[in-house]
Chains A and B, each alone.
Chain A
Amino acid sequence: MPVRPQSISVPSIWQYLWQMIRYAQRLYWLDTFLWLVITGFPIVPGLLIREFFDSLTQSPEGGTPWLWIGLLLAAGAGRVIAIFVGRITKTQHRFLMSALVRHNLLLGLLQRPGAELATGGINGHATSPGELLSYFREDAEQLEDTVVGTNEILAEAVFAGVSVALMLSVNATITLLVFVPLCAITALVRRAEQRLKRYRHASRQATQQVTGLLGDLFTAVQAIKVAGAETPMLAELKVRCDRRRRQVVRDQVFTALLNAGFDNIVSLGTGLVLLLAASKLGAQGQLTVGEFALFIYYLSFVTYFLGFLGGFLAQTQQCSVSVARMTSLIGTEAAQPGTSPASVPPTSQPSCLTTPYPLYLKPILGSPPPLPKPAGFPPSEPLQELRVEGLTYHYPGSDNGITNISLTLGRGSLTVITGRVGAGKTTLLRVLLGLLPSQAGAIFWNNQPVTDPANQLIPPRVAYTPQVPQFFSTTLRENLLLGLAGSDIPKRLQGAITTAVFDQDVARLPEGLDTRIGTQGVRLSGGQKQRAAAARMLVRQPELLVFDDLSSALDVNTEQRLWERLLGQESASESDQAAAPSTHRLDHPPTCLIVSHRPVVLSQADQVLVLEAGQLLTASSPR
């Protein structure tokens, strides 16, 4: 399998912005229109007040001024209403924009090989969950701001355009001078582009370092307390915070400097235009006083727009840094045509940043669309044989990994991988399951090639219990099911819990399956976590069970019972639960791939594979 190509042709930032606009076009244009109204509204009171004074001075009866005051109140009320409605559309639109990006980031990460994040396989360097938060926060916000910026600049452009048209009708030559600052501004942005991007990149990087360390700190609270390492850890955090401060201040001050540059260009231009206009006043008769006043009035719209435009162009450059960061995280390729054989279809496609997925949010008017039903697993063809040929993976920048591994798992067989610490056992499982991208080799499920193991070797074909299983801060039930639903699920869950020798522990928890197990499942002991992970896997009833060192935290008795129940050898009398549901036993001996050092397991294996320094040393069949 080839290494994934890294962003061959990156679409320009404008393409991304356009795709984002297209995602919610009706809302976008409605919002643009409302903002046009809100920003343009102040013109109306100006006109009304002129009429008011005219009516006062020209009609001594004084009847009509009340009409204008009434209209003034009405206009004010209209503007207040427009502001409220505009806020609602803006809020909805803003949220939609960042929500889509955040959704696509999460989905992209979910669809990447699962262990890749931690091993640095994505963009050369490793990324921790804490670091990733800055993509979800700052970078998503930046894209949201820029998309929303386009409709504000559109509104301003409309006023500027109308103003230019009116000014052209007054005096074309002077008006054309307006374009001089415009050219100067674009030239300035172009010159500053590289630096803008560099500073922005550095400040994001520094932010990421801070959130990354914060994540590490809060994940490892116990380890830090135990090591008494609060002081040096906080000192390191301070170093990173200071670095971030310097980078962000540099970024902000440079942006401000650029904006100052735009404003200076604009005011120089304004000064120039005014001087020229004043020189044509009266003497040559080219401009009347009224025309001159009009000119100045409209010029302010144009200059405001130009300053705004400069700032916006700089913002798009900074936004392109965010987009580049996010796409390097999840890739740029759009949906790929299915290249897999029909029997093993990939369940999902890789997504890119702006793919228009539905988000099922409540629209401004009306009720939210129903959430999609969590899809059950499609039935799968029973496993006859899983064959692996020449599987190879090396961690980036190191020799560690696995080389040229071949193995075959027959239906109902028990295969144990063993070997010393660091021999590559876990790596082999990960590459096999597509959690790490293989660099060479092939996998065959019933003789059909598996091209996308990450999305194909999942339940109901394969389920996996990692060496250090992770849990989430919800109830135990939700942690075990992870969205699995159906009428037979409660029964299946009971069966899985019994098979995993977890039933007595569940009974002892204060609220049974509804107990909230805390951050990272801290309310469970090490052994309980391992058996909970086994139950989580068993409830999915996969064809192939893959365990990584399942029993490392189990005592001998528990471990023995676990294997007996799992491999279906436990006689009814041995079961400590006479009324154990009969469903807990699979109808055929399951196919198992297990990493273990335990004699109990090794003695029952159909084949034992020994790994040493990433290579298969021996294969023996004790049975």
Chain B
Amino acid sequence: MKTSRSFYTYLLTTYLSPYRLQVAGLALTLLTSIGLQVFNPQLMRGFIDAAVAGVAQRILIQISLGFIAIALVRQALVLASTYLGETIAWHATNTLRLDLVRHTLHLDLPFHATHTPGELIERVDGDVDALSRFFSQFVIQVLGNGLLVMGILGVLWWEDWRAGLGLSVFAITALGLLSRLQVLAVEPWRVYRQMSAEFYGFVAEHLSGLEDLRANGATGYVRHRLYGILRRWLKAFHRARLTSTALWGGTVGVFTVGNAIALSLGAYLWNQNAITIGTVYLLFYYTTLLQDPIEQIRAELEQFQQAAASLQRIQHLLKQRSQLRASGQTQLPQGALSVAFKEVWFSYQPSLVTRYLSLEQPPYPTTHNPERATLQNLTFRLPPGQVLGLLGHTGSGKSTLARLLLRLYDIQAGQIYLGGVNISQVSPQNLTERIGFVTQDVQLFQTSVRNNLTFFNPHISDGEVLQALEDLGLMPWLIGLPYGLDTELGEDRSGLSAGQAQLLAFARVFLKNPGLVILDEASSRLDPLTEQLIEQGIDRLLHRRTGVIIAHRVQTVMGADQILILEQGKILEYGDRRTLMANPQSHFARLYAHAALANLGQTPLGRISKEIIRDS
């Protein structure tokens, strides 16, 4: 993939336009510095000439003071350009970072399943870092030094048109060669940046699983994989840096050849008595004068190679589109929401369903294709305010059903209605606002208890947060924390157990006002006693709301109005809970009986639970 020039222009104009004044200031300071670079050696030469000529001490001191003054001015300019450059670069890259994160967050879950958090961190932070010089200095430096080259050539044309012509040809050749060499290293740098992202992805992933790795004696395995990654990373690094060296080696080579040509020409013409020795020297002198600005441009281009590589990766990320179909802007009705599935088909590999449906092949595993669609031809309707108990073996499609309601994935055929509205027409913001979803895996952030509950939303008051914790019986835990709601939390910090984390997830839903609450194995990590305690909380949560309770245990759904049992993506049984219970032939009644049997051996826990209750 090649990055078009228009993308560079787009980035520069989009991200720099709010800082026009600062950019103008930066341009001024940088161009002045470039100008002074030329002036300083002149002053030095003046000093030497004056000293050798034996002029008065006073004049020497004046020249020295001038020298120092210019040095001071240059330092001030360097400081100013550092400040302006860094500020502009950080403002621009931060805006780009946020845009990238926003974009990435909106990508679908299959994208996130194939990109580790560590890799994504490197893509939105590391790749963007490489752009700071591109935003702040690149254009100004290249333009400024380009101007300098033109100035030098202009003076030369004025002094001797032949010398001017010769060196113009030389400068154009040199710059043309550099811009050609510059492109070479972009691809190797892109590969290198990709390796970096892979490395950071590897590191972050294995640090998250530190406990699992250690406890399974797998540290040797991690080191082994690290060696492999380092090897490939080094190879990419060598390739990128070596192709980049073409620029440096190229500049040195071009100037050597240029000098040699200038001197040969000079020597030849001098031998022909066509020019004076002074002109020969002039030719040589100006070739070396051109060296500095062209070297500067070379250094900028070398940095730009990495920026261009990062830009390609950024552009690639921005081009990723969510596979979800566009949503409408319809709002869901207020109050409890009805849920309806109509002939819904879904597979995580969409082609599977479309193929089956178009060819009318049996949508179940055959010897040719062991795959089956995750959900097959699902139809049911849950009236508003009722609670559905969703049962099934692991892998039967229960959680998938919940994800479809939240439009984390799109169905391939059929329709899903919430409160009578097809969810594909509902605005995504409204959909997530109106559905409360608690899963078994609770994600906590490394920040305060408050932020963990409010997702950093400053509009939720402490009173509301405390009320939610109170409702769930989490107040004793909160009181035990050193800084209350301000206590920093994290994956398992402050001794927060996975069970307590699940309670926090309940509290998050309490802080919303959803019309539909989905509990996906939400209480599976709670002990029976705590489960009983928060049942009141759940009842309150489900009051005047529609509920979907996903469970693998019959007891969990005994309060439900309707029961749906899934098996291998199909409805095994669906109906009113009481009716099903009353029919001993129903799967539900048999499941219940089976579970009751298994629980007969529950004496120890029953006894112990009673003891705990007595104690507390």
Bound Cα distance from A560 to B553, whole angstroms? 12
Given A359-B230, A525-B394, A610-B608, the answer on whether A238 and B98 have CB atoms closer than 8 Å is yes
User: Which B residues between 501 and 559 are near A, CB-CB below 8 angstroms?
Assistant: 503, 508, 512, 521, 524-530, 552-554
Bound Cα distance from A242 to B94, whole angstroms? 8
| Among B218, B482, B512, contact of A482 (Cβ-Cβ < 8 Å) | B218
Does residue B329 face the partner (Cβ distance < 8 Å to A)? no
| Among A136, A227, A229, A362, contact of B234 (Cβ-Cβ < 8 Å) | A362
Contact, CB under 8 Å: A83 / B51: no
Contact, CB under 8 Å: B498 / A471: no
What are the residues of chain B within 8 A of A292 when measuring CB–CB? 48, 51-52
Bound Cα distance from A379 to B280, whole angstroms? 83
CB distance from A561 to the nearest CB of B (A): 11
User: When each residue 66-80 of chain A gets 1 if its CB lies under 8 Å from chain B and 0 otherwise, what string results?
Assistant: 101100110111011
What are the residues of chain A within 8 A of B494 when measuring CB–CB? 119, 395, 397-398, 400
| Among B113, B433, B440, B503, contact of A228 (Cβ-Cβ < 8 Å) | B433
Contact, CB under 8 Å: B263 / A600: no
Does residue B271 face the partner (Cβ distance < 8 Å to A)? yes
Bound Cα distance from A528 to B607, whole angstroms? 32
Bound Cα distance from A79 to B218, whole angstroms? 49
Does residue A339 face the partner (Cβ distance < 8 Å to B)? no
Given A220-B443, A234-B98, A249-B87, the answer on whether A483 and B214 have CB atoms closer than 8 Å is no
CB distance from A52 to the nearest CB of B (A): 6
Q: Which of A13-21, A152-160, A268-276, A440-448 binds B?
A: A268-276
| Among A76, A216, A222, A508, contact of B109 (Cβ-Cβ < 8 Å) | A222
Given A362-B231, A552-B524, A620-B608, the answer on whether A218 and B445 have CB atoms closer than 8 Å is no
What are the residues of chain A within 8 A of B48 when measuring CB–CB? 292-293, 296
Chain A contact patch, size range: 35 or more
What's the count of A-B pairs with C-beta under 8 Å?
A: 554
Bound Cα distance from A87 to B98, whole angstroms? 36
| Among B76, B220, B605, B612, contact of A602 (Cβ-Cβ < 8 Å) | B605
User: When each residue 443-466 of chain B gets 1 if its CB lies under 8 Å from chain A and 0 otherwise, what string results?
Assistant: 101110001001111100000000
Does residue A489 face the partner (Cβ distance < 8 Å to B)? no
CB distance from A281 to the nearest CB of B (A): 6
Residue in chain A with minimal CB distance to B262: A69
User: When each residue 459-477 of chain A gets 1 if its CB lies under 8 Å from chain B and 0 otherwise, what string results?
Assistant: 1101110111111110000
Q: Which of A4-12, A29-37, A259-267, A581-589 binds B?
A: A259-267
What are the residues of chain A within 8 A of B595 when measuring CB–CB? 556
What are the residues of chain B within 8 A of A120 when measuring CB–CB? 488, 490, 493
Contact, CB under 8 Å: B114 / A232: no
Contact, CB under 8 Å: A129 / B455: no
Known contacts A92-B238, A427-B495, then 12 further A-B pairs from the complex at CB < 8 Å, ordered by chain A residue: A53-B281, A87-B241, A133-B200, A236-B456, A421-B525, A464-B216, A471-B209, A518-B113, A525-B399, A555-B394, A610-B611, A618-B611
In order of increasing CB-CB distance, the 4 nearest A-B pairs are: A76-B256, A483-B221, A527-B394, A228-B432
CB distance from B161 to the nearest CB of A (A): 23
Does residue A185 face the partner (Cβ distance < 8 Å to B)? no
Contact, CB under 8 Å: B211 / A435: yes
What are the residues of chain A within 8 A of B591 when measuring CB–CB? 556
Given A137-B126, A375-B220, the answer on whether A95 and B281 have CB atoms closer than 8 Å is no
What are the residues of chain B within 8 A of A52 when measuring CB–CB? 263, 267
Binding site secondary structure of chain B: helix
Chain B contact patch, size range: 35 or more
User: When each residue 20-56 of chain A gets 1 if its CB lies under 8 Å from chain B and 0 otherwise, what string results?
Assistant: 0000000000000000000000000100010011001
Does residue B603 face the partner (Cβ distance < 8 Å to A)? yes
Could you jot down 17 A-B contacts, CB within 8 Å? A72-B260, A76-B253, A83-B248, A90-B241, A106-B223, A106-B226, A220-B443, A371-B224, A395-B493, A401-B495, A423-B497, A426-B497, A470-B209, A472-B205, A525-B399, A552-B440, A600-B601
What are the residues of chain B within 8 A of A536 when measuring CB–CB? 212, 216
What are the residues of chain B within 8 A of A49 when measuring CB–CB? 259, 263, 284
Contact, CB under 8 Å: B78 / A275: no
Contact, CB under 8 Å: B527 / A418: yes
What are the residues of chain A within 8 A of B454 when measuring CB–CB? 232
Q: Which of B30-38, B116-124, B353-361, B410-418 binds A?
A: B116-124
What are the residues of chain B within 8 A of A271 when measuring CB–CB? 64-65, 67-68
Contact, CB under 8 Å: A222 / B615: no
Does residue A608 face the partner (Cβ distance < 8 Å to B)? yes
Contact, CB under 8 Å: B605 / A418: yes
Contact, CB under 8 Å: B79 / A278: no
Contact, CB under 8 Å: B242 / A88: yes
Q: Which of A107-115, A170-178, A315-323, A404-412 binds B?
A: A107-115
Contact, CB under 8 Å: A133 / B227: no
Binding site secondary structure of chain A: helix
Q: Which of A192-200, A250-258, A383-391, A569-577 binds B?
A: A250-258
Bound Cα distance from A296 to B217, whole angstroms? 66
Greatest chain B CB density within 10 A among A242, A423, A483 is at A483
Contact, CB under 8 Å: B207 / A132: yes
Q: Which of A206-214, A330-338, A492-500 binds B?
A: A206-214
Contact, CB under 8 Å: A253 / B208: no
Contact, CB under 8 Å: A219 / B117: yes
Does residue A580 face the partner (Cβ distance < 8 Å to B)? no
Given A118-B493, A420-B612, A421-B526, the answer on whether A91 and B242 have CB atoms closer than 8 Å is yes
Contact, CB under 8 Å: B238 / A225: no
Does residue A557 face the partner (Cβ distance < 8 Å to B)? yes
Does residue A325 face the partner (Cβ distance < 8 Å to B)? no
Contact, CB under 8 Å: B408 / A225: yes
Residue in chain B with minimal CB distance to A427: B495
Bound Cα distance from A400 to B431, whole angstroms? 39
Contact, CB under 8 Å: A398 / B455: no
Residue in chain B with minimal CB distance to A510: B371
What are the residues of chain B within 8 A of A118 when measuring CB–CB? 490-493
Does residue B383 face the partner (Cβ distance < 8 Å to A)? no
CB distance from A273 to the nearest CB of B (A): 10
Contact, CB under 8 Å: A600 / B598: yes
| Among B212, B263, B495, contact of A466 (Cβ-Cβ < 8 Å) | B212
Residue in chain B with minimal CB distance to A45: B259
Contact, CB under 8 Å: A129 / B125: no
Bound Cα distance from A612 to B226, whole angstroms? 42
Does residue A366 face the partner (Cβ distance < 8 Å to B)? no
Residue in chain A with minimal CB distance to B249: A80
Contact, CB under 8 Å: B498 / A468: yes
Bound Cα distance from A468 to B521, whole angstroms? 14
Contact, CB under 8 Å: B394 / A528: yes
Bound Cα distance from A374 to B226, whole angstroms? 13
Bound Cα distance from A73 to B98, whole angstroms? 51
Does residue A523 face the partner (Cβ distance < 8 Å to B)? yes
Does residue A345 face the partner (Cβ distance < 8 Å to B)? no
User: Which A residues between 507 and 559 are near B, CB-CB below 8 angstroms?
Assistant: 507-508, 510, 518-520, 522-523, 525-528, 533, 536-537, 540, 546, 549, 552-558
Does residue A458 face the partner (Cβ distance < 8 Å to B)? yes
Contact, CB under 8 Å: B277 / A56: yes
Contact, CB under 8 Å: B203 / A226: no
Given A87-B242, A618-B608, the answer on whether A73 and B433 have CB atoms closer than 8 Å is no
What are the residues of chain A within 8 A of B252 when measuring CB–CB? 76, 79-80, 83
Bound Cα distance from A199 to B222, whole angstroms? 35
Contact, CB under 8 Å: A263 / B71: yes
What are the residues of chain B within 8 A of A234 when measuring CB–CB? 98, 101-102, 105
Bound Cα distance from A270 to B349, whole angstroms? 73
Residue in chain A with minimal CB distance to B291: A42
Contact, CB under 8 Å: A252 / B215: no
Contact, CB under 8 Å: B492 / A115: yes
Contact, CB under 8 Å: A433 / B215: yes
What are the residues of chain B within 8 A of A215 when measuring CB–CB? 117-118, 121, 204
Contact, CB under 8 Å: B205 / A214: no
Contact, CB under 8 Å: B83 / A253: yes
Does residue A454 face the partner (Cβ distance < 8 Å to B)? yes
Does residue B245 face the partner (Cβ distance < 8 Å to A)? yes
CB distance from B139 to the nearest CB of A (A): 20
| Among B61, B498, B611, contact of A467 (Cβ-Cβ < 8 Å) | B498
